[in-house]
Chains A and B, each alone.
Chain A
């Protein structure tokens, strides 16, 4: 009753309980799936009502091209893994540098972090495309071909790196000073304290936001299609083109792509929430 009378009030009980937020319930996936199937049915009916001996139905066209789209999706996954690895390694280093006692280290690290944290990913992508050469001369004398998908991967790793840097910095400063002091009193060196006492405690706090950024990164990878990288969305567009660029293909194809990414990222979100809640209960 109360909820009906004041629909825009926040439901305080739901906020304070440990129930998963309503934004993340399994039935959302089912709803999307139903929506997708319904639209396919409509598109199919629409196509069949036209000419009996016309082109194959949108559903048939989509089914035919699904393997091609999935092959593209593998590239999305590959790009997301590689970019996350680069972002994690560089981000941890950058986060530590931000806390360095030397201004010559902390200031540039702070600058780089905030530059990439506060720029549109698409712009970063274009800048990397333009600035990174196609061929890299290796010190050994060989050349390394920077293909477009590698450049895009590197570009996506930069904003994530900047955010990992902030996650690491925030996690380290949240560790009480007493931890440093007791470690120092037990003869741990600075590096040993970081390695054995501080960073292990940071991992717990950092993992949920880190996973969150992985999800965002994965969702950003289709931007590479703008540059001709043949990932899932690019392949979907190419498939529609090849199938005669019929307008009735658009909705089923894009809904399929939506579901594809959703099916991969939604479980990661749920998992992130579970970890978050587990740590919240632990401490």
Chain B
């Protein structure tokens, strides 16, 4: 039977002194994803392995990890597309918790800082909308792509700017900022434009495109950020 070699990053800060890579042989099954392999390890080979996952179908965005050097969703990545020997590490740029688990507090804080919700100038309307806000197809297409984000943090982990400048909002937050800016139902354009206009804000994006390359949902954060930059220059 064909087996897949998993080399998994192990480190538990409460007991381990040094990080190490543990190797496991997992029998291959057709259609096996990286997450399937890790769950096999956890069930049969080593119960102490810590991983985070939930939906197993690329919807919840909790199983992000670095597989063979690139950030990927473990449940969304077929073993077949990466190879028979896998190196699985935690996501970069996120604080490490244990084994393959990383902490997303900082990431979600940045997400929240761009006000990812629709804002109406009329506060009564904001609290209890009186009608539906209609949109044309063209208006919808301006932002619909960016609203597919599942906040899995892969783009944040791939971004070279985040890795050197931890204060940078990251591709996810900036793309979501543009998603609400471009929405015809939103009424807080001038406030939104102020949020990331600073030395460590949007101007530090250099269009390295890694965010769009690793995004599992086709959101294309790089495109959103460049369009956001255009809006910011326009003022």
Same assembly: no
Q: Which residues of B contact A (CB under 8 A)?
A: none
